Amino acid sequence: MTTNRAVQIFKHGGVEVLQLNQIPVPTPGPGEVLIKTAYAGVNYVDVYYRTGLYPIALPFNLGSEGAGIVESVGAGVTKFKPGDHVVHMSTGAYADFIAVPQKIVAHVPEDFSLEVAAAILVQGLTALTMLRESYEVKKGDTILVHAAAGGTGLILVQLAKALGATVIATASSQEKLDIAKAHGADYLVNYSHGEEQWVNEVLAHTKDGEGVEAVYDGVGKATFDGGLKVLKRKGTFVSFGNASGAVDPFKINRLGEKNIKLLRPRVFAYVYTQEEFEYYSNELFKYVKAGQLKVNIHKTYALEDLSQAHRDIEGRGTTGKLVIKL
Ligand code: NDP
């Protein structure tokens, strides 16, 4: 009998709520592709689903992206066939088999390994769509990227450099800042010495101390106030995550002090249609092929060690991407 291991949660909590269970192999419905997973990517959002920060219906099959080989296809699927190498961004990805709507599945380019494909999709699409649509980075801009040595952070740094921006990178240690620099960051700021210090350091790296054109912030609660302070007049605040906790409610009047634009984007709403998903996936793969985007895999874990991967990413001990091998 074919087995299908899947990571499920039945309640919210710490890593102890992660369960590795056997579930039936799904049958692909109309428009769906059944994928045999080779690798799945670890994303911070999996932590939010586990802890309950993002509301979900329980039980919930965890995981947000994976790469593997098409096993079979449902009615009406013409773009994919058994044997194709594909990558997807669906929840439930920590499973040997997953049925995924074809609109969020892409072919893996010939020269990519499945491991690299699983490492790049969600964080890469997040970074790319935010740099194009949340605030369209232009040559000559100076932007701030928080947690710049993290998975999404390292991609933001590299793509922003490819777009011609000057990048100020923050992280919590010199070792992490060195990694951000090796991926192209221009200025490095350790934000673990308190808000006043990092705010002053960031401003000192901007023209006439006026501030940055845009802040890309996946840290959330701990950096929100400081981010408003380092923005230039008419700057854009892209708040896209909560690694330190959700941003506290605040009075929108504060934006008027400098006419700041504030966005709270999620990648799924930028790559919602098949056309959007295909367009941005192809753009992302082009950056990798052109050598402008290096995929930095921190560690590849066995599925049985997923709880360790969660502990590692929550414990701030990782840089780049964590991958699970199935
Ligand atoms: P990362 O690899 O970036 O890991 C999170 C990083 O956040 C850590 O390495 C750490 O870097 C930093 N951090 C700051 N404060 C804390 C804290 N209190 N606890 C833990 N980490 C902290 O993860 P991802 O690349 O997967 O995700 C980064 C952010 O982007 C997350 O907030 C995630 O939710 C968000 N995201 C949002 C998406 C969207 O659609 N809106 C899609 C994908 C990601 P350091 O030690 O340097 O501070």
Domains with residue ranges and CATH for the chain: 5-121+271-325 (3.90.180.10), 139-264 (3.40.50.720)
Distance 241 CA to ligand 1 centre (A): 7
Can you tell me the mean pLDDT for 281-295?
97
Nearest CA to ligand 1 atom 23: 44
pLDDT digits (tens, 9 = 90+) for 230-250: 999 999 999 999 999 999 999
Please give the pLDDT value at position 305. 97
d(CA 285, CA 304): 30
Please give the pLDDT value at position 154. 98
Residues composing the chain:
326
Token look-up 């494909």 returns: 117
| CB neighbourhood size of 46 (10 A) | 27
Can you tell me the mean pLDDT for 246-264?
96
Distance 26 CA to ligand 1 centre (A): 32
200, 208, 293 from 204: Cα distances, Å: 6, 8, 28
User: Beta partners for 170?
Assistant: 189
115 phi, psi to nearest 5 deg:
-65, -45
Closest atom of ligand 1 to 126 CA is: 42
Distance 44 CA to ligand 1 centre (A): 6
Are residues 216 and 159 in contact, defined by beta-carbon separation less than 8 angstroms? no
Please give the pLDDT value at position 118. 98
Nearest CA to ligand 1 atom 17: 244
Distance 138 CA to ligand 1 centre (A): 24
Please give the pLDDT value at position 2. 81
Quickly state the pLDDT bin for 1 (edges 50, 70, 90): low
Please give the mean pLDDT across all residues of the chain.
97
Can you tell me the mean pLDDT for 188-209?
98
In this prediction, what percent of the chain has a pLDDT beyond 70?
Answer: 100
Dihedral of alpha carbons 75, 78, 80, 81, sign: positive
d(CA 256, CA 75): 52
Task: Give start and end residues of each alpha helix (H) in the chain.
Answer: 44-51, 114-129, 151-162, 174-182, 195-204, 224-230, 267-270, 274-289, 306-314
pLDDT of 101 higher than 60: yes
Q: Does the predicted TM-score (pTM) go above 0.90?
A: yes
Are residues 129 and 155 in contact, defined by beta-carbon separation less than 8 angstroms? no
Residue type, 314: E
Can you tell me the mean pLDDT for 72-90?
98
User: Beta partners for 88?
Assistant: 66, 105
User: Beta partners for 212?
Assistant: 231
Cα dihedral value 88, 219, 215, 167, nearest 10: -80
pLDDT of 89 higher than 70: yes
Distance 314 CA to ligand 1 centre (A): 8
Element (H, E) at 261: strand 261-263
Can you tell me the mean pLDDT for 23-41?
98
pLDDT digits (tens, 9 = 90+) for 218-232: 999 999 999 999 999
Can you tell me the mean pLDDT for 114-124?
98
pLDDT digits (tens, 9 = 90+) for 306-325: 999 999 999 999 999 999 99
Distance 153 CA to ligand 1 centre (A): 8
Please give the pLDDT value at position 296. 95
Distance 50 CA to ligand 1 centre (A): 15
Can you tell me the mean pLDDT for 25-30?
98
ipTM for the whole predicted complex goes beyond 0.95: yes
d(CA 14, CA 69): 32
Which residue, 71, 138, 95, 112, is CA-closest to 281?
A: 112
User: Beta partners for 301?
Assistant: 324
Closest atom of ligand 1 to 320 CA is: 2
Nearest CA to ligand 1 atom 15: 244
Can you tell me the mean pLDDT for 278-285?
98
d(CA 86, CA 206): 42
- Among 316, 321, 323, 324, residue to substitute to test ligand 1 (most atoms within 8 Å of Cβ): 316
Nearest CA to ligand 1 atom 12: 147
- Among 43, 44, 123, 262, residue to substitute to test ligand 1 (most atoms within 8 Å of Cβ): 44
Residue 300 burial (10 A CB sphere; 0-12, 13-18, 19+): middle
Task: Name, in order, each residue with C-beta under 8 angstroms of 256's C-beta and a sequence gap of 6 or more.
Answer: none
Residues with CB under 6 A from ligand 1: 43-45, 122-123, 126, 147, 149-153, 171-172, 176, 218-219, 222, 240-244, 265-267, 313-314, 316, 318
